[in-house]
């Protein structure tokens, strides 16, 4: 079988490099569902049927996990009594406080039972994926792959047997790294030649390449406040219910998207909180 690897982009590699014991770089989500939780083995079969082969010294590379164990990544747990929203949030906070294991594919999922309240029996799925693998938009895309919009009693078809491709050797990785370091500036020079001295096109291409790095670097120069002091590894998870029809009404009146409305609300709340503390906004 042919060996396979794919080098991370510069921005995705930065998400790995910037992570430390207090700065987690994973993206977490908690989804609640009405009804009885599915049997754990059924959830494993669902995830297994919808898994696809992943994307893909210098920047790190993606390789297939030769010892992939789905049960390591999809886990099963239950909330302590009384099994309400507070217990779920405490569990999510503990899980999000733990860094992902770099020796495994950088994602985890928990089926959470025991979530019951006045609305009846419910369950939740908590997921955690490293930012180098997905962002907000690709996270939504992944959710649409894993979850159906209509209920179905038909089990997913069995997944085809998956054979991991062997990773490259250390020597092959070293050669590829050297080649990447050499060809990157050559690609820039090639683009300059192909631009036929079109300075505006060249500057635009360069700007598009370095903008994510500059944006990340700019985060370190925010004025000191209660929001950017040194923190520990522990996290708390909180939720707020908002009526979607109201958000859509605001969107129609002011323009933008529902995400824009939520972002404006969060930014306004943070501004008011900082101003109430006498901090410069």
Q: Is the pLDDT of residue 61 over 80?
A: no
Residue 51 maps to a domain: yes
Distance, in Å, from the CA atom of 225 to the CA atom of 175, rounded to the nearest integer, reads 46
CA atoms lying within 13 Å on the CB side of residue 91: 25
Residue 113 maps to a domain: yes
The position carrying tokens 């050669």 is 175
Is 131 catalytic? The answer is yes
259 and 213 in one domain?
Answer: no
192 and 125 in one domain?
Answer: no
13 and 142 in one domain?
Answer: yes
Q: Say which residue, 220 or 29, is predicted with more confidence.
A: 29
The pLDDT-based confidence of 60 (bands split at 50, 70, 90) is low
174 and 92 in one domain?
Answer: no
Could you give the number of structural domains in the chain?
3
216 and 112 in one domain?
Answer: no
Please pick, among 26, 130, 131, 234, the residue that the annotation labels catalytic. 131
Domain at 112, CATH number: 3.30.559.10
178 and 81 in one domain?
Answer: no
Distance, in Å, from the CA atom of 115 to the CA atom of 138, rounded to the nearest integer, reads 28
Asked whether 205 and 41 are in contact (CB, 8 A), the reply is: no
What's residue 9's pLDDT? 74
- Look over the chain and give the mean of its residue pLDDT values, rounded to a whole number: 77
Average pLDDT (32-50) is: 85
List the domain range (segments joined by +) for residue 199.
Answer: 170-221
95 and 63 in one domain?
Answer: yes
248 and 116 in one domain?
Answer: no
Residue 158 maps to a domain: no
Main-chain phi, psi angles of 277, to 5 degrees: -85, 0
Kindly report, residue by residue over 85-143, the tens digit of the pLDDT.
999 999 999 999 999 998 888 889 999 998 876 666 889 999 998 888 876 666 666 77
Asked whether 96 and 108 are in contact (CB, 8 A), the reply is: no
214 and 91 in one domain?
Answer: no
Residue 112 maps to a domain: yes
Question: Which of 11-15, 113-117, 195-199, 243-247 shows the lowest per-residue confidence on average (mean pLDDT)?
Answer: 195-199
Average pLDDT (28-48) is: 87
181 and 68 in one domain?
Answer: no
What's residue 55's pLDDT? 40
Query: What 3-state class would DSSP assign to 175?
Result: helix
Q: Residue 271 belongs to what H/E stretch?
A: helix 258-276
107 and 46 in one domain?
Answer: yes
Residue 234 maps to a domain: no
Kindly report, residue by residue over 113-128, the tens digit of the pLDDT.
988 766 668 899 999 9
What's residue 226's pLDDT? 86
Distance, in Å, from the CA atom of 259 to the CA atom of 247, rounded to the nearest integer, reads 9
The position carrying tokens 């210098």 is 58
Q: Is the pLDDT of residue 175 over 50?
A: yes
Work out whether the CA dihedral 247, 250, 256, 261 comes out positive or negative: negative
- CB atoms inside a 10 Å sphere around CB 127: 21
Which of 43-52, 59-68, 250-259 holds the top average pLDDT?
250-259
Residue 161 maps to a domain: no
Q: 115: closest CA among 151, 80, 90? A: 80
142 and 18 in one domain?
Answer: yes
Q: Say which residue, 92 or 62, is predicted with more confidence.
A: 92
Average pLDDT (226-247) is: 89
């Amino acid at each position: 079988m042919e060996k396979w690897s794919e080098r991370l982009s510069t921005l995705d590699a930065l998400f790995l490099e910037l992570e430390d014991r207090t700065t987690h770089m994973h993206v977490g989500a908690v989804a609640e569902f009405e009804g009885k939780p599915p049997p754990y083995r059924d959830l494993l079969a669902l995830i297994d049927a919808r898994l696809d082969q992943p994307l893909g010294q210098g920047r790190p590379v993606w390789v297939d996990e030769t010892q992939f164990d789905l049960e390591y990544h999809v886990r099963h747990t239950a909330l302590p009594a009384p099994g309400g929203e507070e217990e779920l949030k405490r569990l999510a906070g503990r899980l999000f406080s733990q860094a992902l294991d770099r020796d495994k594919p950088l994602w985890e999922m928990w089926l959470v039972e025991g979530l019951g309240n006045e609305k009846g029996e419910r369950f939740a799925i908590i997921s955690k994926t490293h930012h180098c693998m997905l962002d907000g938009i690709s996270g939504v895309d992944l959710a649409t792959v894993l979850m159906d919009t209509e209920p179905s009693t038909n089990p997913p078809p069995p997944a085809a047997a998956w054979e991991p491709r062997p990773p490259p050797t250390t020597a092959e990785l070293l050669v590829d790294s050297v080649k990447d370091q050499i060809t990157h500036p050559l690609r820039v020079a090639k683009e300059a030649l192909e631009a036929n001295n079109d300075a505006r096109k060249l500057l635009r291409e360069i700007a598009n390449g370095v903008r994510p790095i500059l944006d990340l670097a700019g985060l370190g120069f925010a004025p000191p406040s209660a929001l950017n002091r040194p923190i520990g590894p522990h996290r708390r998870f909180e939720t707020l219910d908002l009526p979607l029809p109201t958000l859509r009404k605001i969107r129609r009146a002011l323009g933008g998207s529902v995400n824009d409305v939520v972002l404006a609300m969060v930014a306004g709340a943070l501004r008011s909180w900082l101003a109430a503390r006498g901090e410069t906004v």
